[in-house]
Structure 1
């Protein structure tokens, strides 16, 4: 089984608590979350794909993201295609969906991120951390369970329709919404995919 962990860094390994303790994200990361990530990956045998904005820069070499993370104590096995691409919408869920579409051999995956801009079908696979403490023990346990659970191969959709009339059908029209993040040292705005359900009732003639 090929299990993939999509990894954010800020808010997962780079935390407010770590900053206050002197781990500025440049010379060191918060050691507690880093140790929990290393233990999780060793225990599950998963491969890591970086979905964080940290993934920018050279694909290989000492200035690349993987080399930086290793220098900061991250001891995981990266997938050979180790980072997601960039989508013009900047919606992380779309970037992850594109990566998964290119890798149908992946049987299980989990996402660890402090933000929630994922597609609706990805939300059950998301373990959302808080920027204050990052990856905690309970998060690691939930991720381990997800990495051991096969994913559905159904195509992602923002529409869920009832198959039995006259039950109501529920549609989720999606729109891009930007909001401001307060108190974050890394980025101030975020764009998310928001799906607002509307209910349409169908009737049958007699």
Structure 2
């Protein structure tokens, strides 16, 4: 199984979108970013595990519905566990390290390790650098990121 660990803020939505689109026309996510995510899952057969902080106030079912309403066509499998820096006992807790620990904990809890995985995130995930496609919070998921993610996951014929 191939997994995309998905952040929302800075990946599916971004600051320029918020600045440039009138609020009455604005969607929660950038449609080009959702289309790019769709391209990743279609070309690789990957499933999504939400790693975004949005999982703190949304169930997996609510996240599935939210993404589907925004045009996502893939499968939302799960979300990562929620670790808080104090309870995670990190030597230097920062959001990127916490996110890495949450992703690693999700992987470790599976009976079978994913065939491949990628983390789409605007945080610095240095502990998962080989599996991380870093987006920028002002632009979100771009075409170049799609190709990087597919290279990490492996394209399905």
Q: What TM bracket, shorter-length normalisation? A: 0.7 to 0.9
What does residue range 151-162 of structure 1 map to in structure 2 within 5 Å?
none
What does residue range 122-137 of structure 1 map to in structure 2 within 5 Å?
122-137=128-143
Deviation at 1:98, TM superposition (A): 0.2
* Structure with the larger RCO, 1 or 2 (CA within 8 Å, 6+ apart): 2
Structure 1 match to 2:69: 71
Q: Which of 115, 121, 124 in structure 2 is aligned with 1:113?
A: 121
After superposition, give the CA deviation of every residue in 1:156-175 in whole Å (9 maximum; x if it has no partner).
xxxxxxxxxxxxxxxxxxxx
Gaps of 5+ in 1: 150-206
Deviation at 1:30, TM superposition (A): 1.1
In the superposition, the TM-score normalised over structure 2's length comes to: 0.81
In the alignment, the residues of structure 1 paired with residue 46 and residue 22 of structure 2 have an alpha-carbon distance, to the nearest angstrom, of 26
Structure 2 match to 1:138: 144
1:29 has 2:29 as partner: yes
Larger helix fraction of residues: 2
After superposition, give the CA deviation of every residue in 1:90-123 in whole Å (9 maximum; x if it has no partner).
610000010000123312100010011x352x11
- Work out which of the two has the higher radius of gyration on C-alpha atoms and give 1 or 2: 1
Structure 2 match to 1:47: 47
In the superposition, the TM-score normalised over structure 1's length comes to: 0.63
1:99 has 2:113 as partner: no
* Distance of aligned partners of 1:123 and 1:33 in 2 relative to their CA distance in 1, 3 Å threshold: same
Aligned length: 142
Gaps of 5+ in 2: 86-94
